Chains A and B, each alone.
Chain A
Amino acid sequence: AQSVTQPDIHITVSEGASLELRCNYSYGATPYLFWYVQSPGQGLQLLLKYFSGDTLVQGIKGFEAEFKRSQSSFNLRKPSVHWSDAAEYFCAASSFQKLVFGTGTRLLVSP
């Protein structure tokens, strides 16, 4: 079955430090991949997407993600975290209009 795994339930990062959130997918073929961010009580905002081509994709708010086919991974990175980045992050894969989400990673930012 198609699935997306985010192994970290929550991560705490100091403000100004770098960030990497992990995402692994299990699909028959390479799916389209996305990262979304959700602040408490809000909707989901699209950070970036991977369809094909360059495996390093740039997104909004200084985020980037790298697609690694050999590892079935699509990890999200940011070189310097700001306090406003504290939120829930969802990795997702799509197939035939269905988005399959990971369970999410809650990012906490310490001063």
Chain B
Amino acid sequence: DTEVTQTPKHLVMGMTNKKSLKCEQHMGHRAMYWYKQKAKKPPELMFVYSYEKLSINESVPSRFSPECPNSSLLNLHLHALQPEDSALYLCASSSLFYRDRGDEQYFGPGTRLTVT
């Protein structure tokens, strides 16, 4: 099974709201990722968790707060977002077998976020 699931599929939130995106994988992968994708652009890496620890933060604003409760789950907590944060948020996971060069990543279907 190479499935990564994400909830919700769609989310509309105001700039003062607090919400969370959730991601789950059951492939035994030990690395999980958050990406942001704007229309007609490739995904942009936001965060990487390796063995449930944050290993990469691509200088993402603090209004985005990631959390990895266990090896299967990844959350992205959202607070005080701006309209320009509206995008497709993708979660991915991978093994860490070829950690130095990077294993293939498996993506979820994404959460379409709209900030009003």
Contacts and interface: CB of A to CB of B under 8 A. Distances in A.
Interface of A: 31-32, 34, 36, 41-46, 49, 51, 90, 94-99, 101-104
Interface residues of B, number: 31
Contacts of A102: 42
A15 to B, nearest CB: 24
Interface in B39-56: 40-43, 45, 48, 50, 55-56
A96 B108 contact: no
B102 A103 contact: no
A45 B106 CA distance: 7
B110 A43 contact: yes
A99 to B, nearest CB: 6
B112 A41 contact: yes
B34 interface: no
Interface string B17-34: 000000000000001000
Pick the 9 closest A-B CB pairs, nearest first: A94-B102, A101-B42, A43-B107, A44-B107, A43-B109, A43-B110, A49-B104, A32-B101, A97-B102
